[in-house]
Structures are given as C-alpha cells and as structure tokens.
Structure 1
C-alpha cells in the first residue's frame, strides 16, 4: 500500500536532494521555492542552497513571475533545456543518422552518414564521432556542454554492456563494447540500445496515453519494438521484437543470413526489394531508390512493395493476437513508399488477426518519421544523465573540482 503524503510533504524520511528537486522542476511539479518547500518539507534555507546549485550548474533558470498577494513577485524556476546538450547516433546497416540535441531532446543540428556497418565498429564509431564534433560546431555548442551520448545499433543489444549480442547484419560487432569507442572523443556517459527500441521510446513520447504500441521499422532490414502496459519490453536477452527472422509460410526456400530459410527479412525487407528489382532490370542500390521508383509510379515496384507489406502483415497478425496493441506505427526508410506498403500490411493483419484485436487498431506512419531514431537516442541518454542520482553526482563532482582549486 502506498502511503499518501501529508499536507504536501514527502512521505520519505530522507531530505530531498538537489537532484530530486530538479526532477520536480523538470516535470513541472513545482515552479517556486515556496512550492518546493511545501512538496519536500525542507526549510527555506535548505531549498535555497539546493536551488542555487542547480542554477549554477545551468540545469535550472529563474525568471520573475507574477505578483503574489501582499508581497513581491515570486521568482519562478524552470528546466533550462539550453543548459547542455546530448549527442544522438542511430546506426543503420548502410546509413547512420546523427544529431545534437538540447536537454529537452530538441534537435539543434543533424546529418546522416553513408557508411556500412560491415566496415566494423571502430571505423564506424570513429566516423560517427568526427561528424558529431562537426555538428557541435554547426549548432554552436561547446564540447564541454555535452552531457551524454545515445547510440542505437541494429539487432539484439546487451544494453548493460553496451554491445551487440551478435547478429548476422553486424559481422565483427559481437560483444565489442561501444561506449569506450565514443568516450575517447566525448568523456561522458554513453547509452546503447537496439535501433527499433529507441524508435519506440520516441514514439511512446509522441503518443501520450497510448500504453500498448507496436513499432515497426522497415529499412534495409526489418525489426519491431513492443511497448506493453506503458513499458518498453526488451525481453530476457534483449531480442524482443526480432520479427525479421520469423519464417514465412509458402516461401521460395531462400536462405537467410541467419542460417534459416524464408525469413521475413530475406523476403520483404528493403534489401530484398533492391535484390528483386535489380533482377528485373531496375538500377537500384539503396532503399531510397526503391522509394523513388514507387513514387514515380513504377508498376512493378509498387506491386513488389505491396507484396512485401502482405508478408510483413502475416507476421504482424500473430503479434496483434499476442499483444493486442492500440497502434502500430511504421517507420524506416521504406516508409517513403507508405501507401502500397501499408495497404499490404493492413490487408494481411485485418484478414488474419482476431477481430477483437483489430476492431480499434490503428496502423499509421510514425509520428517522428525521419527523426525517431535520433530523438529516441536523445531521450534514452537524457533519462540517465538527468535522473536525480546522476544530477547529484554531477553536482558532487563540481563541488570536488572547486575544492581542489
């Protein structure tokens, strides 16, 4: 049973730390020193000391508010999104999206790199770091203002160790710890997760009130992420959502790089469409080129994309029956061919899934198409570096440095 707070005071015995006060301000729960005192039970002097440290660190700003009855205007406190920055890198098999974001996750500068992951983790991370350094300059952000880096990679990830568990699309990446490779350039916390998981984090923020969400990424490969009961589900070993390696019925017996036959990814991904269109005489070598053909009205490209959507929908139908999501969002590079792709997905899902699972189901493009990867990476690391414990650690380090001067 949760104890109800008494007269606005904190139910715990321990005094509120500066980090806990920052969390209240960031969440919009308090806006003045008086409100902080009521919410925490701290004395005016204790509140002032903690707030002053947050102001000095640049995490909080203060402006004069409206007048209060019988006294001077109350100074109002607000989360200072410009008090630092985080870096975001969403690594794909052939294209990597990069961004510099403020402390609210707003993109200040962004770019993409055409670099293949088969080059290996060290060359890719070096290229990522060098371009992020350039983006900092373009955004007018000093390197010293960087507070963290959020990184995503394809496939299953050990988010604690910060490495790929070992997936076929990332040869040579298995168990290579990625945070140290970026920490050489940016000595700040680095968080690593699966590429579709970070998309789901971003989409969850963009869909307030939606607790059951299935996020689909169709790009060079195919992956999914699951938000159930309001929480991102990573699974026992970080491989939740690996629908790309679900075997499809009635396939042609095509071998997949994972070792199985007729996996969804080998039949319906962007890479599969490039292969099939090239075999039909089309000059395409990227998913973007496939999208261009569809937008130009190429009948064969439209037909192949719709068939890919049908195959994806066959697998998603089982996920709908199992998870009963409210919304399926579709993202990734192939979303540019949205109409035939999603027409095929809907056709199979609504045909094969149970009626109670589809009666109010929405299938729609992601709310942050083109930005969900970097936005999710930013949120991923912000949730760590702006947590109460991390803020208290930052302030303790600042105090230590000052004491040494």
Structure 2
C-alpha cells in the first residue's frame, strides 16, 4: 500500500490473483508488533520454467531455467548450423521435451522459449535476415516453426546479445554499461547501455564483424581478418586447407610463435573496431567471449594494445577488458532472461493471472 498508493482491498485482490497463479507463495509470518502477525509472500521462481536455446555455428545447447534464470537442466552437442533450420530446430524441440520429461515438468508449465542464433535477427519477428554463416535460414520463421510444438511465446535474438545478457547476470550484475565481443567462427558485439540491451531500430546493433578494418588492404571486413577461420587460413600448412579453430588454439598453447603472432595481429584488428565502440559508447567493461576470446590470451592482449592507445583517455581511464567468465551456459541463461524480461512484464502478468496460462497445482 505504501509503495503503490493503492487501497488495502485493491492490494489484497491483486495478491490473491498472484497467489492463485502461483507466482507468489506464502512464507512464514513476520514478527508481530502487537495484534495479528503480518503475513508474508515471496516470488515463486519454481512456478514455471523457461526454455533457453543457444545455437552457434558448430554447437547447440538447450536448457531449462526457473524464473530467476537459474539453470535446472541442460544439454549440449556439436551441431552444424549449416544443416538448415528444420533439422536443427527439430533437435532443439526434441531436446527440450526430453529435458521437461526428465525434470518432471509439462509443456503447460513453460513460460516461454528464448533462442539465440549466430546471425542478424529481426527481433520483432524472430526471423534471421541474410545471415552469412546460416545457409537456408534467411527469412525462416523460427517462432512459427517452434509453436507447432509449444504454444508459448518464442523470442529470437542474435547469439551475442543473449551471451551479453547471460554474462552480465552471472558475472557483472552491477555493471550498467558493458560491451560483449564474441570471437569464434564469426565476430559480433552485444551492447548493454544504461543496464538495457541495445538492439537498434532493426535488431542489427553490434554487427561489428562486417565493419571494414581501417588498416585492411582493400575492402576487407573484420570477420574476414580476425575470426577463428581467418586465423586458421593464415596458418594453413599448405596454403589451401585451413586449420580448425581448435588446431589454432592448440598451436598457441604449445608456444608456436607464428600462431601467437597471428592471434595477436587478429586482436589488434579487433581492437581497431573496439576502440571506436569504446569512444562512442563509453562502457566500463569490455568482455571478450567466444572460443577464441576465452582460450587465447594473446588475442585479448592485441585488443588491449590498440584500445588503450586509440580510444579517448576519458573512455579508457577505468575501462576493464577481460575474458568472458559466464561459462558455456551463459547463452542459455541469457536466452531465458530475455524471455523473463518480456513475459514477467506488467502487461504479460495481467494476461497470466487472468487464466491465460495455468501452472501446475502441486508447487
């Protein structure tokens, strides 16, 4: 009543609706100050589950979380996104149903599904738009395909955006201005400013992989110069067959001078673009993720070298440039948090408590 200015009866009616929907649960009574002890309620994060999906160029991960974004169960496998949308999404749906069964939850208890894919996405429709490393996915209606199995809302975003959300929640909860850079098969950025993920007008904010590098020869973009496959091509032993990203990492770990210099040079190229982002956005933290970002310190060293030299001093005065620490589940967590932000909004809660979705009765 103090917080909202509503009358006691209005607050009681609202609380009763939330209790009936199992979004709130009673807890132990508070200490009495004379008369009847006050009753307490708490948010019931276990009342429903969220399905989080993290799809990369060469992997797929599906997980269940509670409404706080805590992962309850998950499964991950090597998976080529180039297989096309129907085979990949069929595996996602089968895996999600399997996890629900294993965890004793039903489809009706799913609040929503969040999906991250490794390419540009029109967030309002959930459709990938001309994704360069996702053949067959252009304009594919991911939500429509998935709602054949689940009736709940399906939200789709670029994989770097959901990694940024997951990393912030797990490692940097107090940081409001964060730039997440993923360096793997492709290169992209997730931008969090003022505590809010910035998608831009059409959902393409952070697509730095296709920005032309200032010192590049000809019209060459960042992904072509500094991604995992680009480094692998530079280190090809026969000039034809590129090294895999893992082979590149292995050569760096054993101290191969050529591989180390290639990684550092790639970091400098990435630093050229990141320095511009730092001057424009002024984040407090730049997180370098993806398999290359997490595994190759030399790449991060190259990024730091250029950013601290090129970006304006005020922007770098207290800037941290660090490897990602959210772990392999950051994408699942971020996808689930994206759903939570949407489905636990005021308008969505109004729909839910009106009986549009029924939770299980034994929680």
Give the secondary structure class of the aligned counterpart of 1:220: coil
Distance (Å, rounded) in 2 between the aligned partners of 1:38 and 1:360: 39
Aligned match for 2:76, one of 100, 112, 116: 112
Distance 1:135 1:284, change over 3 A: farther
Distance (Å, rounded) in 1 between the aligned partners of 2:33 and 2:224: 69
Distance 1:231 1:386, change over 3 A: closer
Distance (Å, rounded) in 2 between the aligned partners of 1:212 and 1:367: 17
Q: 1:318-397 alignment to 2 at 5 Å?
A: 318-397=276-355
Distance 1:330 1:369, change over 3 A: farther
Structure 1 residue 249, shift from structure 2 partner: 4.0
Aligned match for 2:172, one of 202, 207, 212: 207
In structure 2, the partner of 1:248 is 213
In structure 1, the partner of 2:102 is 138
Distance (Å, rounded) in 1 between the aligned partners of 2:72 and 2:168: 21
In structure 2, the partner of 1:7 is none
In structure 2, the partner of 1:187 is 151
- Structure 2 unmatched runs, 5+: none
Contact residue 162 and residue 335 of structure 2 kept, 8 A: yes
In structure 2, the partner of 1:38 is 2
Distance (Å, rounded) in 2 between the aligned partners of 1:278 and 1:139: 46
In structure 2, the partner of 1:269 is 227
Contact residue 50 and residue 67 of structure 2 kept, 8 A: yes
Q: Cα deviation per residue 1:118-154 (whole Å; 9 max; x = unaligned)?
A: 2221221111111122222333333321110001112
Contact residue 263 and residue 296 of structure 2 kept, 8 A: no
Q: Does 1:228 align with 2:186?
A: no
Which one has a bigger Cα radius of gyration? 1
Aligned residues: 358
Distance (Å, rounded) in 2 between the aligned partners of 1:280 and 1:344: 26
Distance 1:275 1:133, change over 3 A: farther
Q: Does 1:83 align with 2:47?
A: yes
TM-score by length of 2: 0.90
Contact residue 231 and residue 263 of structure 2 kept, 8 A: yes
Distance 1:358 1:102, change over 3 A: same
In structure 2, the partner of 1:156 is 120
Distance (Å, rounded) in 2 between the aligned partners of 1:288 and 1:76: 53
Structure 1 residue 217, shift from structure 2 partner: 0.6
Distance (Å, rounded) in 2 between the aligned partners of 1:42 and 1:249: 58
Structure 1 residue 106, shift from structure 2 partner: 0.5
Aligned match for 2:130, one of 160, 166, 183: 166
Contact residue 126 and residue 156 of structure 2 kept, 8 A: yes
Q: Cα deviation per residue 1:315-347 (whole Å; 9 max; x = unaligned)?
A: 111222222221111111213324211111111
Distance (Å, rounded) in 2 between the aligned partners of 1:102 and 1:289: 37
Aligned match for 1:312, one of 270, 288, 305: 270
Aligned match for 1:295, one of 241, 249, 253: 253
Give the secondary structure class of the aligned counterpart of 1:93: coil
- Structure 1 unmatched runs, 5+: 1-36, 254-260
Contact residue 86 and residue 100 of structure 1 kept, 8 A: yes
Give the secondary structure class of the aligned counterpart of 1:369: coil
TM-score by length of 1: 0.81
Distance 1:385 1:285, change over 3 A: farther
- Superposition RMSD in Å: 2.5
Q: Does 1:198 align with 2:159?
A: no
Contact residue 150 and residue 378 of structure 1 kept, 8 A: yes
Distance (Å, rounded) in 2 between the aligned partners of 1:385 and 1:39: 23
Structure 1 residue 42, shift from structure 2 partner: 4.0
Which stretch has the larger CA shift, 77-86 or 54-63?
54-63
